Amino acid sequence: MAATHIFDTPPEGVAADWTMRQDWQAFTPEQHRTWETLFDRQSAALGGYACRAFLDGLDLLRGLKPGVPDFAELNARLKLASGWEVVAVPGWIPNAPFFEHLANRRFPAANFLRPPEQIAYSEEPDMFHDIFGHVPMLADPAFGDFLVAYGEAGLRAEKLGASDYLGRLWLYTVEFGLVVEEGELRAFGGGLLSSLAETAFALTAPEPRRVWLDVERVMRTRYHFDAFQQTYFVVAGFEQLLRATEEADFASLYRKIASEPAIAPGDAWRGDVAYEGRLPTAAPWSGDGEAGI
């Protein structure tokens, strides 16, 4: 089934800024069970893979009433812990409002949940991906500030017609990023942490490249929509990620990248510095599972 929650203009019931009422009461018992199944399975499996900021941030979700999170209840906890809030959106929204929300510490979350038959694999980012995969990381101050800086950079990129380049930075960090903690590699990207199969692949399989973050390299690198990534980027910590974003001369990088060929997902680059440290000691990648979120 192809993705269906992609919009060019706000559908009925959605405001001009693309936000909408969550209408938590409308979620069915089956949807609440689906959420609980997903949450219990993923949170139990990630102990040896996820970074500490994510595992600590999961407490924001564990303290909520059972089932699909009520955004009003979640925001009462999240705002106090981080200054962020979640806003419900209908699905995949245009770049400009997305960047605007991030720049103002509002995290857009899809207001739909995958059906039970797609519980192991969703073809498009749903509420579980957005809330479970991303919200725990908002409680980390440096990571939260990185998202604000990213949103501000995105608004500038829109004016320069360079949003696609910046989108690659999002995908390879916020969705599929890796971080070193206590000398060992951990996942922090929401696309990884809401997909156990790709988390294990990214952290333990011999096949993918694991490369220290370089902003130019990331923004030149194409990526897969429907398969595991072939290259993953590593940061030493979230302060480094924030500095890399704040210090980058994005306008100059966009001009440079536009004049050079893109890098295929699995190709090497002349400036690559490979991560050669320890991988997790959790159960290694077995070759089972599907790519996706």
Give residue-wise pLDDT tens across range 118-176: 887 777 899 999 999 999 999 999 999 999 999 999 999 999 999 999 999 999 999 99
The tokens of 43 are what? 């949170």
The residues with which 87 forms a beta bridge, in sequence order, are 108
Question: Binning pLDDT at 50, 70 and 90, where does residue 2 land?
Answer: low
Query: In this structure, what are the phi and psi dihedrals at residue 146, rounded to the nearest 5 degrees?
Result: -60, -45
The tokens of 132 are what? 């479970």
Higher pLDDT: 291 or 141? It is 141
Residues 168 and 209: their CA atoms lie apart, in Å, by 16
Residue 59: which residues within 8 A CB-CB, separation 6 or more?
none
Give one DSSP letter per residue of 169-220, joined into a string: HHIIIIIT-EEEETTEEEE--HHHHT-HHHHHHHHH-SSSEEEE--HHHHHH
Q: Are 119 and 37 in contact (CB under 8 A)?
A: yes
| Percent share of the chain, pLDDT over 90 | 85
Helix (H, G, I), strand (E, B), or coil: what is residue 109? strand
pLDDT digit string, tens, across residues 254-272 = 999 999 999 999 999 999 9
User: Sign (positive/negative) of CA torsion 201, 223, 192, 145?
Assistant: positive
Question: Strands, E, within the chain: which ranges?
Answer: 85-89, 106-110, 178-181, 184-187, 209-212, 231-235
Mean pLDDT for 8-20 is: 95
Q: Beta strand 231-235 with 178-181: parallel, antiparallel or unpaired?
A: parallel
Helix (H, G, I), strand (E, B), or coil: what is residue 107? strand
With residue 62 as reference, give the H or E element that holds it. Answer: helix 59-62
Question: Binning pLDDT at 50, 70 and 90, where does residue 292 land?
Answer: very low
Residue 106: which residues within 8 A CB-CB, separation 6 or more?
84, 85, 86, 87
Query: Which residue type occupies 11?
Result: P
Q: Phi-psi region for residue 146, left (φ > 0), alpha (ψ -120 to 50) or beta?
A: alpha
pLDDT digit string, tens, across residues 67-96 = 999 999 999 999 999 999 999 999 999 999
Q: Are 102 and 87 in contact (CB under 8 A)?
A: no
Mean pLDDT for 102-125 is: 90
pTM: 0.94
Q: Are 54 and 193 in contact (CB under 8 A)?
A: yes
Neighbouring CB atoms inside 10 A of 10's CB total 18
Residue 276: which residues within 8 A CB-CB, separation 6 or more?
none
Neighbouring CB atoms inside 10 A of 65's CB total 10
Helix (H, G, I), strand (E, B), or coil: what is residue 68? coil
pLDDT digit string, tens, across residues 166-199 = 999 999 999 999 999 999 999 999 999 988 889 9
